[in-house]
Amino acid sequence: MANVALREVRKTYAGGFEAIKGIDFEVGDGQFCVLVGPSGCGKSTLLRMVAGLETISGGEIDIGGRIVNAIEPADRDIAMVFQNYALYPHMSVYNNMAYGLRNRRMPEPEIDTRVQEAARILELGAMLERKPRQLSGGQRQRVAMGRAIVRQPKVFLFDEPLSNLDAKLRIAMRVEIRKLQRRLKTTSIYVTHDQLEAMTLADILVVMNGGTVEQIGNPLEIYQKPATTFVASFIGAPPMNLMPLRDAGGVRAPSGEGILGVRPEDLLISGDSPAGGLVLDLTVEAIERVGAETYVYGVRSQESGASTVSTSPGELPPGEVIVRVPGAIGPAIGERLRATAPREKLHLFRPDGRQRIDL
């Protein structure tokens, strides 16, 4: 096992496009780190730089105390699991898993021991003689993971390994990957654009946007205290409600404005008005019932106000708000509701959205 440290890592392509803009973070020995962000944010490029599949334009990548900038991928002691499985179609499951070890001229008895152990861990023992075409998508992904496991690397790298699977299988495989990593205790870096996948897998979460890191921390910390409006809106489903606000609770941004945020689950449908909290009068426009929960989409009226202290009300312009309520609650389209949130559940950001302000 090993820690992985990135220090001021940059990637600039021909023509001057800067895909990675000076990224710093460290993954501790045995930790599971997830890189999450929208398509094109640079997360897969960063992973490929750690793997050695992309050259770096600046900075350092340190794996286990060794700077690997100029070291070939095969010599970095890492194993990578790809989105498309990358299995050899003409080879059996056994030979797919053994192929890399044979290329390293490992003795056959040692290869067999490693393949059989990986097959046992991944429940592939009955499939070792099958070809990839005879396997389901989930089974193929387990073979791809088995091929990584047999190498016994210092670091596992996962590049959106579940994106080709259906929703039910994704959930099952997500659980399998986390259980496997905890069992093997191998340092892992995992790339996904799925924020739910990121939240459930990560020990340390790295939220990326536009080639930079927006926030690093454990998933619950990032969910509860997003550093920017981008993080607030990207992490969480449904996303945080973000509303332009003037003079919110006496906290003045340079322009005299700010952005108020509140999670859908922190809004309560109630006639009570919490002292120093948020009060929104809404008209229901749409409803989504998802079983145990219902998402209510309402539009704020001009009269809605907000205040983080009782002496300083603010203004909220009209706009859409999402409220998450128990599934049994059934407001009707067009119904008028009052939604409230206590002061401690509110988030305030500066006008540019780049910095959170503690209330």
The DSSP string of 277-330 is SEEEEEEEEEEEE-SSEEEEEEEE-TT-EEESSTT-EEE--S-EEEEEEETT--
Task: Give residue 267's pLDDT band: very low, low, confident or very high (50, 70, 90).
Answer: very high
248: helix, strand or coil? strand
- Whether residue 308 contacts residue 245, with contact meaning beta carbons closer than 8 Å, is answered with no
Report the predicted TM-score, pTM, of the whole model to 2 decimal places. Answer: 0.87
Which two three-digit tokens encode residue 282?
């809404």
Q: Which of 97-101, 255-259, 286-290 has the lowest mean pLDDT?
A: 255-259
4: which 2 tokens? 């992985």
pLDDT at residue 117 in the model: 92
Q: Which amino acid is at 106?
A: M
Set out the domains of the chain in order of their start, with CATH numbers.
Answer: 4-224 (3.40.50.300), 238-357 (2.40.50.140)
Which residue's entry shows tokens 């193929």? 140
User: What share of the chain in percent tops pLDDT 90?
Assistant: 57
Axis-axis angle for helices 137-149, 167-184 (nearest 10):
20
112-121, 161-170, 269-278: segment of lowest average pLDDT: 269-278
Q: If you average pLDDT over each of 28-37, 193-202, 252-261, 323-332, which comes out highest?
A: 28-37
**H or E element: which one contains 32?**
strand 32-36
Instruction: Give the whole-angstrom CA distance, residue 4 versus residue 189.
Output: 9
Of residues 93, 98, 53, 89, the one with CA closest to residue 74: 53
Instruction: Name 313's bridge partners.
Output: 307
Taking only the tens place, the pLDDT of each residue in 195-233 is 889 999 999 999 999 999 999 999 999 999 999 999 999
| Cis status of the peptide bond prior to 317, with omega within 30 of 0 | no
Burial of 333 (0-12, 13-18, 19+ CB in 10 A): exposed
Q: What is the pLDDT of residue 246?
A: 62
| pLDDT band at 1; cut points 50, 70, 90 | low
Cα–Cα distances in Å, from 61 out to 27, 39, 56, 74? 11, 23, 9, 15
pLDDT in tens, 63-75: 999 999 999 998 9
- Mean predicted lDDT score pLDDT of the chain: 87
> What pLDDT score does 254 carry?
52
**What percent of the chain is predicted at pLDDT more than 70?**
90
